[in-house]
Structure 1
Amino acid sequence: MSIEIRHIVFDIGRVLIHYDPHIPFSRIIPDDAERKWFFANVCTHDWNIEQDRGRSWREAEDLLIAEHPTHAESIRAFRKYWHEMVPHAYVECVSIMESLIAKGYDVTMLTNFASDTYKEAQKLFPFLTLPRGVTVSGDTRLIKPDVAIYQTHAKSFDLDPAATLFIDDSMVNVEGARAAGWHAVHFTDPQTLQADLLSYGLAV
């Protein structure tokens, strides 16, 4: 590939750190069917993404508790036990990121994350402070795959879209980056990521 990549942008959840809300909820709601129903009907993906867009947890909890008063304790448990949902980093991926930084590549991060839980994640995973900076959806009130968040990130960090490579575990977000004029790869595992980087002339 004859493209010169000067900027590398990492997603965070499920690329650098593991995220799984079932970890604490397997204890909070032990019955599999009941827990599946809870995530499908109460603390849904669509509900959670609004915190990534900037809605406060208090407002989010009040909204759901008004609709599902008998599930109030479980609803509040989502934020209360959030730290258990991010139990570990993906060490090999963090190594790749650190290697790129050490080699002088311009590395930033772009993530769908609630503002307060991102600050918590930085304390749990200090390597999140190593890149040049981060765009957090909860702070910008924009979320991937909206093209506007990629444009905001590029403007904030003075990135040339045509020289930018984005790494995300969600194909929809990869497509969003491409719609913004970036290069992008779909993250599946560290070995594939290394091969993808190499195809762009980025050795780690």
Structure 2
Amino acid sequence: MTPQTVVFDLGAVLLHWKPIELAMHLLPAHAPNPAAAEQLCERIFQGLHPGATWAEFDRGSVAAEPLAALLSAQSGVEAAELLRFIHAIPDHLHTKGDTAALLPRLQAQGHRLVYLSNMPSPYADRLVAERDFFEHFEDGIFSARVGLVKPEPAIYALAEQQFGLSPAHTVFIDDNAHNIVTARARGWQAVQFLDAAQCERDLTALGWLN
């Protein structure tokens, strides 16, 4: 029987990721209100697309201190402030309990669970050590550990090889539309995540939950 595999993204799916709130909390002089924080986050994260400075942190090709220096040049924020911001992020990646509650339900229906996440190594190490939901996953890929990032097709090809995926028997859950497009182009089923209730409805409609 072909394994039915659910591939989860982590950030903004199983982990709260609210960079605007984070910027207002940690960089109030530069992000005194939501509009200013949104503009600052655009300068820092640049949409997290491949080639963006932050995406290279996710790829593992730049460490935190040089990242802060690079981000300072593009954001106008002092490198020391940005380094504190970078180091503080794991403390704010709280588990989304409503999404985590889907994991045992999917397992109970016989599905394999794996993860495919754009994540720098320092954050990945912390999360694996601290978050109980990883016990539900059979395997996973963090971008920084393989030198690839979503939505590059190569990281999906690696996932297919490492996890033994059959694309037609795979569903991918991610909040990022570009990542969803690449998954579907490889023949995976995919659900663009908005919230846990919507994700549950979509998985049910696709026949992955009942």
TM-score over 0.5 for the pair = yes
Match of 1:40 among 39, 42, 56: 42
% identical equivalent positions: 28
CA distance in 2, matches of 1:197, 1:67: 40
* Structure 1: stretches of 5+ with no match in the other structure: none
Q: Structure 1 residues 203, 137: CA separation in 2 closer, same or farther (over 3 Å shift)? A: same
Residue in structure 1 matched with residue 25 of structure 2 by the alignment: 27
State the structure with bigger RCO (CA 8 A, min sep 6), 1 or 2. Answer: 1
Q: Structure 1 residues 69, 10: CA separation in 2 closer, same or farther (over 3 Å shift)? A: closer
Q: Structure 1 residues 97, 26: CA separation in 2 closer, same or farther (over 3 Å shift)? A: same
Structure 2 residue 142 is the aligned partner of structure 1 residue 136: yes
Structure 2 residue 91 is the aligned partner of structure 1 residue 84: yes
CA distance in 1, matches of 2:41, 2:129: 27
CA distance in 1, matches of 2:38, 2:81: 13
Q: For residues 1-21 of structure 1, what are the alpha-carbon distances to aligned partners after superposition, in whole Å with 9 as ceiling and x for unaligned? A: xxx871111111111110123
Which of 102-111 and 70-79 deviates more?
A: 70-79
CA distance in 1, matches of 2:152, 2:182: 6
TM-score by length of 2: 0.83
Q: Structure 1 residues 9, 43: CA separation in 2 closer, same or farther (over 3 Å shift)? A: closer
CA contact (8 A) 2:65 2:83 kept: no
Q: Structure 1 residues 37, 187: CA separation in 2 closer, same or farther (over 3 Å shift)? A: closer
RMSD of equivalent CA atoms = 2.3
Structure 2 residue 187 is the aligned partner of structure 1 residue 181: yes
Which of 38-47 and 103-112 deviates more?
A: 38-47
Q: Structure 1 residues 155, 71: CA separation in 2 closer, same or farther (over 3 Å shift)? A: same
* Structure 2: stretches of 5+ with no match in the other structure: none
TM-score by length of 1: 0.86
Q: Count how many residue pairs are aligned between Structure 1 and Structure 2.
A: 200
Structure 2 residue 29 is the aligned partner of structure 1 residue 60: no
3-state secondary structure, aligned to 1:110: strand
